[in-house]
Amino acid sequence: MPSLIRSLVLLPALLSSIVHAVNPVEVRGQDFVDTVTNKRLMIVGVDYQPGGQAGYKPTAKQDALTDADVCLRDAVVMQKLGVNTIRVYNVDPTLDHSECMSIFNAAGIYLILDVNSPLSGESINRAEPWTSYHKDYLTRIFGVVENFKAFPNTLAFFAANEVMNDLSTAEYNPMYIRAVQRDLKNYIKNHVDRTIPVGYSAADVREILHDTWAYMQCSHNDDQSSSDFFGLNSYSWCGEGDMQSSGYTDLVNMFQNSAIPVFYSEYGCNKVQPRIFTEVEALYGSQMTSLSGGLVYEYSQEEADYGLVVINENGTLSLREDFDNLQGQFNKLDLSLIQSTNASSTNIQPPECSMDLITAEEFSKNFTIPAVCPGCADIIKNGISNPKNGKLVDVTDTKPKQAVYGSNGVQVQNLELTKLTEANTPGGSNFSSGTASGTASGTAAQPSATKTGSASSMSMGGWCSMIVLGALLTAMLN
Could you list the active site residues?
162, 266
Radius of gyration of the chain (CA): 22
Q: Given CA atoms 366, 371, 373, 376 in this order, what sign does their dihedral have?
A: positive
Could you give the CA distance from residue 10 to residue 306 in angstroms, rounded to a whole number? Answer: 50
Q: Are 431 and 324 in contact (CB under 8 A)?
A: yes
> Nearest CA to 294 among 324, 256, 262, 320?
262
Please state, in angstroms and as integers, the Cα–Cα distance from residue 473 to each residue in 4, 7, 201, following that order. 9, 9, 50
Parallel, antiparallel, or unpaired: how do β-strands 229-233 and 198-203 relate?
A: parallel
Could you give the CA distance from residue 395 to residue 416 in angstroms, rounded to a whole number? Answer: 12
DSSP annotation of 21 reads: -
Parallel, antiparallel, or unpaired: how do β-strands 31-34 and 317-319 relate?
A: unpaired
> Nearest CA to 134 among 175, 179, 164?
179
Could you give the CA distance from residue 430 to residue 407 in angstroms, rounded to a whole number? Answer: 10
196-232 exposure pattern, b = at least 16 Cβ within 10 A, e = fewer: bbbbbbbbbbeebbbbbbbbbbbbbeebbbbbbbbbb
Could you give the CA distance from residue 308 to residue 311 in angstroms, rounded to a whole number? Answer: 10
